[in-house]
């Protein structure tokens, strides 16, 4: 009798969406309180250029992103840990 192959915990972690999904406008509002705010358009453009994960929600329009991932990305970008164009080396 065949059995199911063991599941990879890392793959399951990346397959499930995080609990803190927000839209780009909400991400702009979250970043607006920092000393160097960014518009939703610039934030989305640089985040996507850096090849960071995006999520789709069934039954909802648009892209969703993890709030914590956007805040970490913005922090890294402002501190100069990521090049200004957002791309990784």
- Residue 79: Cβ within 10 Å count: 9
CA distances from 39 to 15, 47, 71 (A): 29, 12, 13
Q: Does any domain span residue 72?
A: yes
- The count of domains in the chain is 1
Instruction: Answer yes or no: is 13 within a domain.
Output: no
**Residue 86 binned pLDDT confidence (cut-offs 50, 70, 90):** low
Indicate whether 73 belongs to any domain. Answer: yes
Is 89 within the bounds of a domain? no
Distance CA 52, CA 46 (A): 9
Q: Which pLDDT score is estimated for 76?
A: 92
Residue 53 counted as domain residue: yes
- Condensed to tens digits (0 to 9), the pLDDT of residues 17-58 reads 889 999 999 999 999 999 999 999 999 999 998 888 899 888
Residue 14, in any domain of the structure: no
The verdict on residue 7 lying in a domain is no
Structure confidence at residue 82 (pLDDT): 83
What's the whole-number average pLDDT of the chain?
85
Does 31 reside within a domain?
A: yes
Q: Structural domain of residue 74, as residue ranges?
A: 19-78
Residue owning tokens 């358009």: 41
């Amino acid at each position: 009798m065949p059995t199911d192959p063991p599941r990879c915990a890392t793959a399951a972690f990346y397959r499930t969406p995080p609990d803190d999904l927000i839209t780009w406008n909400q991400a702009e509002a979250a970043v607006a309180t920092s000393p160097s705010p960014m518009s939703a358009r610039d934030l989305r453009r640089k985040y996507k250029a850096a090849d960071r994960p995006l999520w789709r929600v069934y039954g909802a329009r648009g892209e969703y992103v993890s709030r914590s991932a956007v805040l970490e990305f913005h922090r890294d970008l402002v501190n100069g840990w990521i090049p200004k164009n957002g791309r990784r080396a």
